[in-house]
Amino acid sequence: MASDSEKSSTYDDVEEMNEGEAAAYNFKQTLFDRIQEIQATGSYATGNVLQSVPIPGICVDGGEPIAIPLSKEAAEDLAKKSDKAPFGKRRQTVVDETVRKTLQIGAERISFKNPQWNAFVNTLVQRVVEELGVPPAPKGPTVHAELYKNLLYPPGAMFKPHKDTEKDPRMFATLVICLPSEHTGGTVCLQHGDASIELPTAETSAFNYYYLAWYTDVTHEASHIKPVQTGYRWVLTYNLIMGDRKSCLSASTLDSQTENLVQALSSWEKLEYKPDFLLYPLDHQYTPRNLRLSSLKGFDYQRARCLADSCDRHGEFNLLLAQYNKSKTWDNDEGGEEDMTRRTYLDNVCSLEGFVLSNETVDVHKSTLLVPINYHDRDPDYRAGGEYMGNQHQEMEENYEDMVLVIVRTVCIDVPLFDSKNSPQIANKVMTHLLRSVNDNARATLQTILVRLWRVILDERIAAKEANDVYLGYVAVTSASLGDWPIFKEAQKNTRKAWDMGSWSALGGLIDLQDGSVDANDIYNCMVQCENLRLVYQFLTRFYNGFCSSNIRRKDPAKAEYWKQWYSDSLIRTLNGCKNCTGKDDAVTIKEIILDLDVKYTSSQQNEVDKAVMNLVDHFKDNKTFVNALTVELLLVLSKPDSARTDFLRRVFDVILEAAISTFDLELYYAYAYPVLFYQGYSDTLIRDFYSQALAHSEDSAFDLLRQFSSQASKASKDTVSKILLSVMKQLLPSVDTGSPEVQTCFQLLVEAYITQTVGKEPLKPEPEDWARPEEVHECWSGCERCPQLNAFVKDPKAKEETIAMSDSCQRHLKYYFKYLEFEKGNREGEVRITKTLRGWERGHEDWESKAKRVQEQLRDMPKELKEALGDKYDTLMALDLIRIDRSIAEEGGISQASDKTQPSTRPKRSREKDAQDTEPKRTSKRTRRGGAEVEG
């Protein structure tokens, strides 16, 4: 809890709050006070001398009973039979006598000859739990003691400050019985929070028994004040184990306190600024695995029990348990704490029964605490780092861990479980975790929390509109898993676009389309409302595959046939009803449908699916983007020698061929095909294959395709041209008649486009009186005042030099960006004279020459057929005259670039003889090739 000074420092700005904030602050104070009013009797530790104790008859390893009081000889013999006691250090158990110097014998080696001893211990336990303030069980005792160890403290023995570890998830306290063995020193010191107590055992040790007990989160130390100086301190240690319990308060007390809390919770709902949840720090410490209502101690238990009943009675709140963490991270070097990272967060959020609800960590603000936690004069629960790592200090980390009650509004049940700003998959992870626990344990509480999570999502409290669809898919899956079909149908109804793929896969294994729980038509309508062919196909496939995976276990052939028919009918229905098929994804989908061999269609089903595919392709073949993408997809498949269904693929290609040629776009081809060719290892022969397909259809189609290539090349971007144009020419050269003038015109245009785009025109040297240097303009992002002034100077054709006043730092900045200008010291202090030079043009011309040389080498490396394909322009093109400056004209003041834009008319090799006979290359008839015969029309 918080100290008074911490409270005042935290809330000293109350006067600055507006009315709504002040009301929220006052509410938190009221709720905290109401919880604090729930009181219990008892202490965190207890101890006293025992009267009328039976002689236990302690035996080690089945030997003779040890005489009491313990003699020196018996103590030495007992010590020989004992082991050095280890202690827990983080996740390890170690022996270190500088921390713990004690001798131990495990419970499995200890037995009691006196049958009355265990009955005596049980009676003592009831006394201890009353003194510790453990509420009585309504139907007899639910606390029992389990022997843990026999401990012997010889002279000098001690145990430095520590907290007892919980050896059993239900362990809540430690009981120690000091047996008669005379000694001095060995006083036990116990501390909880700011309170401390000393329990001396030496004064009555010669002939009396003494008991001590404390909660496990109490820090204790043997010999903190005095070590064992003489004699032997001999004790038996027991773990106190708590059984499950339902209630501990009397009916009248509970009802009064519950009603007060219900009224406080009702005020919460009326606040203008409603917190989603609030945290109440518990007095005691608990391990995460022992965090449950039945393990809470003293006030913690009574307050949690009463608060839980109040939340249930109100109906709009839930009570959970969690670990509240405050962490600090910083570099362990000088000044490192100035950059310290602080974080407060929840983890290990669990139900009152102790079931973990979420494995996520959720950042929270300290204002969610009903009262601040006091970290002053307290060591962190976890500290790491600080060691040297090479020549650097390791990062330091400190963490404080406190257990809290989480009072959360039902409509915000998601907030302490996961961060809604993260992906919806985190929400699904939490719901799946809850579902698994419900199925494994049939826990009504977990199902209630899961149902409330569904309601938060259904009411769009996490996300709205289409953003909520993914969450709704997860609701559909988890509700179907529990057979909650009304919730499933509500999730279905609320969906605007689409659930994610994983949801459909899971649902395929959960839904039986034949049992009537869900209407199959509703399932289909939920899939297609996204109006996206690719998504619908993927939903159908995932849904069907989900069924197939589950049916492997069922082995129901009749059901398998029903589902296959439903799948094929739904797919045909989707293809026939498609209203939007315009992109690359749609083309990929068509290809996947054609090549899907996993679905073992009947002959009739396959024919119907193929028919629907052909109809869809024919309907959308005039869409340029779709048909270019589908062309690439079909060519990629047909380029593989082992491709399946090649006959049907060629039939589809025939349907789109004319449209594919007339709308062929080199840019789209590059965008679709190049990534596949580059990353997936396909042979880059698609253009050749396209030409071959066109030629197989008709020579006219091949002519049209070649013209389209050459026309597109001059329009394509530099990136497209540089990446694929040489490859296109290499592919086409073996298939065309390189001696045809029309073919030569085509290849001349292709080479011209390649040269122009990859090299560009030769930079023209500035005229002697033209001082404009537009290519040297620099776009400054730093807000420099001089850059705009210098840019204006650079663009001025009449200004050769300019003098500007500037600082040294400004001069360094300008020299870096305007590297082709000459900077000299001016006549006056602080002035710089700036002069334009030809260095920018010289550097640009060097780069141009380098690119030109590289392109010439690339063209020389092309197949020998290129020389014939370029005809009478071979020499001028190889010399790059197209982009070089005509020196003779340039000297007279004009610049000439070679440019011949004759439109191509192309012919394949097979038409060469006919061309030799024709005096006019124009076509007067259109030929198509069908079944090896030519038909004129």
| Cα 93 to Cα 24: distance, rounded to the nearest angstrom | 48
Q: Is the link from the previous residue into 921 a cis peptide, with omega within 30 of 0?
A: no
Mean pLDDT score of the chain, rounded to an integer? 83
- Is the distance from CB of 834 to CB of 709 less than 8 angstroms? no
Band of the pLDDT at 93, cuts 50, 70, 90? low
End-to-end C-alpha distance for the chain, whole angstroms? 97
Helix axes of 646-662 and 584-595: crossing angle, nearest 10 degrees: 160
Band of the pLDDT at 237, cuts 50, 70, 90? very high
- Is the distance from CB of 171 to CB of 255 less than 8 angstroms? no
Band of the pLDDT at 158, cuts 50, 70, 90? low
| Cα 735 to Cα 692: distance, rounded to the nearest angstrom | 8
Statement: residue 198 has pLDDT above 90: no
Helix axes of 444-458 and 485-494: crossing angle, nearest 10 degrees: 20
Q: 254-279 burial, b if ≥16 CB within 10 A, otherwise e?
A: beebbebbbebbeebeeeeeebebbb
Domain spanning 45-242 has what CATH number?
A: 2.60.120
Statement: residue 935 has pLDDT above 60: no
Q: Determine how many CB atoms are found less than 10 A away from the CB of residue 516.
A: 9
Q: Which is it for strands 801-805 and 831-835: parallel, antiparallel or unpaired?
A: antiparallel
Handedness of CA 326, 331, 337, 339 (dihedral sign): negative
For residue range 757-766, list pLDDT tens digits in order. 999 999 989 9
Lowest mean pLDDT among 101-105, 240-244, 606-610, 700-704: 240-244
For residue range 399-409, list pLDDT tens digits in order. 999 999 999 99
Band of the pLDDT at 176, cuts 50, 70, 90? very high
Question: For residue 33, what are its two tokens?
Answer: 């006070």
Q: Which position has the higher pLDDT, 445 or 2?
A: 445
Q: Tell me, what's the pLDDT at 389?
A: 47
Within 596-645, residue ranges assigned H as helices are 603-620, 624-638
Length of the chain: 937
| Cα 802 to Cα 214: distance, rounded to the nearest angstrom | 88
The answer for residues whose C-beta is within 8 angstroms of residue 527's C-beta and 6 or more apart is 498, 504, 536, 539, 540, 543, 570
Statement: residue 628 has pLDDT above 70: yes
Statement: residue 927 has pLDDT above 50: no
Q: Tell me, what's the pLDDT at 94?
A: 52
Question: For residue 695, what are its two tokens?
Answer: 């030629």
Band of the pLDDT at 226, cuts 50, 70, 90? low
For residue range 842-851, list pLDDT tens digits in order. 999 999 999 9
For residue range 380-434, list pLDDT tens digits in order. 888 887 654 444 556 788 899 999 999 999 999 999 999 877 788 888 888 988 8
Band of the pLDDT at 683, cuts 50, 70, 90? low
For residue range 880-897, list pLDDT tens digits in order. 999 998 765 555 544 444
For residue range 365-383, list pLDDT tens digits in order. 999 999 999 888 788 888 8
The CA R_g of the chain, rounded to the nearest whole Å, is 43
Q: Which position has the higher pLDDT, 494 or 99?
A: 494
Band of the pLDDT at 925, cuts 50, 70, 90? very low
Statement: residue 639 has pLDDT above 90: no
Residue with tokens 């401990």: 151
Phi-psi region of 194 (alpha: psi -120 to 50; beta: other; left: phi over 0): alpha
| Cα 93 to Cα 446: distance, rounded to the nearest angstrom | 36
Q: Tell me, what's the pLDDT at 252?
A: 47
Bridge partner residues of 347 (DSSP): 323
Statement: residue 165 has pLDDT above 70: no
Q: Tell me, what's the pLDDT at 369?
A: 94
Q: What is the pTM of this model?
A: 0.67
- Is the distance from CB of 373 to CB of 392 less than 8 angstroms? no
The answer for residues whose C-beta is within 8 angstroms of residue 922's C-beta and 6 or more apart is 905
Question: For residue 332, what are its two tokens?
Answer: 């362990």
Q: Tell me, what's the pLDDT at 855?
A: 95
For residue range 715-752, list pLDDT tens digits in order. 888 988 888 888 889 888 988 889 988 889 999 999 99
Q: Which is it for strands 230-231 and 188-192: parallel, antiparallel or unpaired?
A: unpaired
The answer for residues whose C-beta is within 8 angstroms of residue 881's C-beta and 6 or more apart is 898
Residue with tokens 């929400």: 427
Q: Which position has the higher pLDDT, 810 or 377?
A: 810
Each domain of the chain, given as residue ranges in start order, spans 4-17+248-417, 45-242, 532-753, 774-837
Q: Which of 334-343, 396-405, 668-677, 907-916 has the highest mean pLDDT?
A: 396-405
Q: Which position has the higher pLDDT, 836 or 192?
A: 836
Question: For residue 542, what are its two tokens?
Answer: 């995932």
Q: Tell me, what's the pLDDT at 388?
A: 47
| Cα 434 to Cα 478: distance, rounded to the nearest angstrom | 9
Statement: residue 317 has pLDDT above 90: yes
Q: Tell me, what's the pLDDT at 201?
A: 87
Q: Tell me, what's the pLDDT at 888?
A: 58
